[in-house]
Every structure is written in C-alpha cells, then in structure tokens.
Amino acid sequence: MFTFLHKYGSPQHFYRLSRGLAPWFGGASALLFAAGLYGALLLSPPDYQQGEGVRIIYVHVPSAWMSLMVYVIMAAAGGVGLIWKVKVADAFARASAPLGAAFTFLALATGSLWGKPMWGTWWVWDARLTSELILLFLYLGYMALQTAIEDRRTAARAGAVLALVGLVNIPIIHFSVLWWSTLHQGPTLRPFAPPAIHMSMLVPLMVMAVAFMLYFAAVVLVRTRNELLELERNSNWARELAAEEAAR
C-alpha cells in the first residue's frame, strides 16, 4: 500500500496514471450527465408545492455537495503537501481550488434563482447561505495566495494553512439548518433515516451527483498534470515527455 502511494506520489508516475484515467472519468461523466438530465427534466414529476421550479435541485444540490467535498479534498491534499512535502499533493490542491470555487458559485447562483420565486427574494443572510458565501471567499483567498506568492513551495504552504483553518466552516455549512432556525430547508438525505424525497426524484438526483463527481475527477487530473508540467518543466522526465510528444 505504502509502496503504491510512494510510487504515484512522484510527479512522473502520477502524470502517466492521470493521463490514462482522465478520459475514462470524463466519458463516464458525460454519459451520466445525459442520463441524469433526461431523468431530471423528462421523467421526474413536478413538486406539489414548487411545481417545475423543483428541477433546479438537480444542479443546485450536487454543486452544493461538491463545494464541500472539493474543499475537504483540497485541504487534505494541502495538509499532505505541508507535512510530507509531496509535490503532487501541492499541485492537486492548487488544481482543485478553481473547480471548488466554480461549484460554490454555481450553488449560490442556482440557489438564488430558486429563492426568488419561492422566498420572494434573491438573497437572505441565512445561516446556510452566509456560510456557503464564506466558503467561496475561502476558495478565492486560497487562489489569491497562490497567485500573489511567486515561490511555489511557499505559496503551497500558505495555501495549506489557510485551507486547513477554513475546514472549521465545513461542519457549520452542513449542520447550519439543524443548529439554527433558517429559511433553507433541512437535509434531504440523512444517515439512518429514510430519504425525504420520492425515488422518482432521488434517482436522477444521485445520478447527477455522481456525474458531478466524475467531472471533477476528470478535470482535476488534467489540471494537476498541467501544474506538474509547469513545476517540473526542467526535470529529465518532463523533457523526455516533451520529446515523446514532439516525435508523434
């Protein structure tokens, strides 16, 4: 196990592994997006209260889930790079940040589109919305640090510290609808409890969630490869790779 992790913790081996996996993740994501959208838009019924407006949940909910998941992954990768000085982990964290920010913005934007007809306003300083907005600022702050600090290693350390400190916001987002009285509805899926949504809606929702995950996996692998090439551009393996590409 540790031999495997050590092997693919090297930029060269990770690059070759990710180049093989990314197309498969991308293809599977495209198929699941097609199936999920078909189920969401054509097969699932309208809600008895929200009507056709409920269909926005098939984008809003997965993007909100991904905003949290990506941040935890980014912080974990940053921690690995900070403690064990693994270049691949630093590159992975750096590559994850723009994707996490995009998912967070999408969750906020679709939530506002849903909130206007349902709540009568685009935005309220609700606990869930406010903590999700803070998450977007954490992503943007991480990205700003990476851009502002020229030395990649120093930037990675500073970003990792920020990401690890920001982890305190993740349980606040998740449990905010339980800890405080908010406009935002409670969780649809809870451990050891039946889902608060009919199967005709739950199935396409979960298909969309997996499609979002696979999309993230495909894109973050490509972005990490690019980060590693930039970081290792003067190394022997990068030069050999460039020569192989030029020979094709």
Range of the domain at 202: 55-187+195-242
CA–CA distance, 235 with 243 (Å, rounded to integer): 13
End-to-end Cα separation, the chain, in angstroms:
35
Query: Which residues sit opposite 31 in a β-bridge?
Result: none
Assigned domain for 95 exists: yes
Tokens of 89: 């982990």
Query: Which residues sit opposite 51 in a β-bridge?
Result: 47
Assigned domain for 17 exists: no
Give me the tens of pLDDT residue by residue for the chain, a chain 248 residues long. Answer: 455 556 667 888 899 899 999 999 999 999 999 999 999 999 999 887 788 888 999 999 999 999 999 999 999 999 999 999 999 999 999 999 999 999 999 999 999 999 888 888 889 898 999 999 999 999 999 999 999 999 999 999 999 999 999 999 999 999 887 787 777 777 776 776 677 788 999 999 999 999 999 999 999 999 999 999 999 888 888 888 877 877 77
pLDDT given at position 5: 56
Assigned domain for 19 exists: no
Assigned domain for 117 exists: yes
pLDDT given at position 27: 98
pLDDT given at position 1: 46
Q: What angle do CA 141, 61, 48 make, to 5 degrees?
A: 145
Assigned domain for 41 exists: no
130 touches 171 (CB < 8 A): no
User: What's the whole-model pTM score?
Assistant: 0.93
CA–CA distance, 37 with 208 (Å, rounded to integer): 7
The number of domains in the chain is 1
CA–CA distance, 114 with 75 (Å, rounded to integer): 30
Assigned domain for 200 exists: yes
Name the one residue in this structure whose structure tokens are 């889902």: 195
Q: What angle do CA 146, 151, 156 make, to 5 degrees?
A: 45
Assigned domain for 159 exists: yes
pLDDT given at position 4: 55
Assigned domain for 10 exists: no
